[in-house]
Amino acid sequence: MYVLEHLDQAQKPLFSYEIIPPPRGKSARDILDVVEQICSLDPPFIDVTSHSAEARYEELGDGTVRRRVRRKRPGTISICGIIQNRYNIDTVPHLLCRGFTREETEDVMIELNYLGIHNVLAIRGDETNYRRTLDSSRSTNEYAVDLVGQLGNLQKGKYLEDIANSEPINMCIGVGGYPEKHNESPNLKSDIRHLKDKIEAGADYVVTQMFFDNAYYVKFIKECRQAELSVPIIPGIKVINSVRQLTSLPKNFHVTIPDQLVDEIESNPKHVREIGENWAVAQCGDLLNCGARCVHFYIMNDAGAVTRVIKRL
């Protein structure tokens, strides 16, 4: 089923989840253990992130430096195929602009279509320390709106090369939204204008970056609707489960953690998991009361906290 169909047909609030492929060299069993924990929560769909290549520099014994280019977390397509076909849960692989060519994107969509996977999340992706040089036969999508446009063409059966009697690839396209605005946008109004461009290019729904203060989401929804964006906007939630996340989450995701939550954790660091779960329960309850049809949990492969929150909800 498409994500839109899950939302339209739901008879009760939905909770979806996002997981990360294991690092290179680790077993798929690590991530499948997380998936099996999630299965008990009856998820409508599971997102699987994607990661572009990065450069690492190693100093050799003779004093020279060697550069290695690797994708730290490969396996997105394989993991999606397992979840979709072994566990019968719809998956949403993330597609990136950065680190991937348009030709590779087209190949990925063909593979996903063969696997019966018809949902994707189209995002630009984070800046990395490596950009490969492309020959003249390759091209890239610079921004998410460009990626959505390419996917929209595939929905119409338009491939990068003219193919006689080509068949369309059916899919549901999600994009990211930022209640606190994207860190590169000058203001929220500008950010919403870019979001509108992605929707007009063919995006079907929006899932937001994590936030910890629902006031940001309420304002974001209001301004999106005023800008005549009518697609579903799914709020994204992260359950804080360590003191370290008070600094790592704002640094890596450019989000604000409310003073009340910070003060409570810093005053009772040994109870950070309980505090984080209590905050998430209250936050989700408020979002559902405000009309959210689905809440999306950023698990980061720690399903225990999220499982406890969902059971309480």
- Total residues belonging to the chain: 313
Q: What is the mean pLDDT of the chain?
A: 91
Place 129 in a pLDDT band, splitting at 50, 70 and 90.
very low
* pTM given for the model: 0.91
Give the pLDDT confidence of 14-62 residue by residue, as tens digits: 999 999 998 888 888 889 999 999 999 999 999 999 977 555 555 665 5
Give the pLDDT confidence of 224-271 residue by residue, as tens digits: 999 999 999 999 999 999 999 999 999 999 999 999 999 999 999 999
Give the pLDDT confidence of 93-102 residue by residue, as tens digits: 999 998 889 9
Please give the CATH architecture assigned to the domain spanning 3-238: Alpha-Beta Barrel (3.20)
Query: Could you give the count of Cα atoms lying within 13 Å of 154 in the half-sphere of its Cβ?
Result: 25
| 173 and 148 Cβ atoms separated by less than 8 Å | yes
Angle CA 12–309–5, to nearest 5:
30
Domain ranges across the chain = 3-238
Give the pLDDT confidence of 166-200 residue by residue, as tens digits: 999 999 999 999 999 999 999 999 999 999 999 99
Mean pLDDT of 123-150: 79
Which of 132, 90, 124, 95 lies closest to 110, judged by CA? 95
